[in-house]
Structure 1
Amino acid sequence: MPEADHDFAGWITPHLNRLARISRAFAAPADQHDLMQELLISVWKARPAFRGEASPATFIYRVAHNRALTWKRRDTLMGLRFFNARHELADVAADTCREFDQQRLDRLYTAIRQLAPVDRSLMLLSLDGVAYADMSALHGLSENTIGVRLSRARARLVAIVGEMSDGF
């Protein structure tokens, strides 16, 4: 492995779970792998611009969230995505030990995907424990605005998950 690749792998590895959560929140199950690849490519391309003025986590969040906000599904792969989604659902159903928790988690991410893109991003950052000041730097919003948007997003999530539970 070339040294630059090794350096990148070591640099990005602590943040892979966060990138996976971003992918899960911004893409339907069948598209999450594609978005994850897009996020990794975007971070790889942006790495030379990292000046160390912010933490690597903040830099990676900014790049990944910006890419996730602009990511669009490719309509030509819709049939394949439907096929993959059916198989993913079958895999989840087969795992009876984790089925209940997986369903709850799937409902949560389904609800998160219904939020506005910026609110979705803020919610993920909040779930990762990112401080309002860092969120403010990432999105160019005041800390007060961050707090208000998160409060409203949480209320919206509760309502969405409640509506989903009523349907079961």
Structure 2
Amino acid sequence: MARDADRDFADWLGPHLPMLHRTARAFAEPADQHDLLQEMILALWRARPRFRAESAAGTFVHRVAHNAALTWRRGETRRRLRGVAIEAELLMREAGSDPQDALLERLYAAIRRLPPVERSLILLSLDGLPYAEIARLHGLSETNVGARLTRIRQRVASLVEEADHGV
């Protein structure tokens, strides 16, 4: 019986794993991404019984995952001590990697520098959610979501450009 519940959960969660990976990548440094992914999956396991299908499963998963990521991020202070080692690892990876991978890592590094709400908005947008869905998740109007995303995209672009020029 427990195996059936595990299988049901895995089947339910499967389509949303790419979004969870992107969320972990945006909220956590590379060394911590797997830990955050586990935290989000655990939060979803605990929250699954509360899913009443009043919204799409994807909406529920996004909300639980983003809340878990925000909670996890609050514990960042302890993890900052490892920051220097992580930065060195990133630089070593960038030096010997594909230019596209390096650009993608700079993009995620820029996203990690955004405040949590902005990070959540840009991730939901990158996941292809329509403004109406993002607005509902955050309690904003569609117009406000559009305006914020325009500013966030500009901010991310300038952060990536700063990283490219070593500013």
In which range does the TM-score fall when normalised by the shorter chain? 0.7 to 0.9
Q: CA deviation at 1:137?
A: 1.3
Aligned residues: 164
TM-aligned CA distance change 1:74 to 1:35, over 3 Å = farther
TM-aligned CA distance change 1:150 to 1:162, over 3 Å = same
Letter in 2 for 1:75: R
Is the Cα–Cα contact under 8 Å of residues 29 and 85 in structure 1 kept in the other structure? no
SS in 1 for 2:132: helix
Give the Cα separation in 2 of the matches to 1:70 and 1:9. 23
Letter in 1 for 2:115: A
Q: CA deviation at 1:92?
A: 6.3
Give the Cα separation in 2 of the matches to 1:87 and 1:165. 17
Percent pairwise identity: 49
Letter in 1 for 2:137: L
What residue number does 1:108 align with?
Answer: 107
Gaps of 5+ in 2: none
Is the Cα–Cα contact under 8 Å of residues 133 and 143 in structure 1 kept in the other structure? yes
C-alpha RMSD of matched pairs (Å)? 2.2
Give the Cα separation in 2 of the matches to 1:25 and 1:86. 19
TM-score, normalising length: structure 2: 0.88
SS in 2 for 1:12: helix
Letter in 1 for 2:39: E
Letter in 1 for 2:157: V
Gaps of 5+ in 1: none
Q: 2:78 aligns with which of 64, 75, 78?
A: 75
Is the Cα–Cα contact under 8 Å of residues 42 and 63 in structure 1 kept in the other structure? yes
TM-aligned CA distance change 1:7 to 1:122, over 3 Å = same
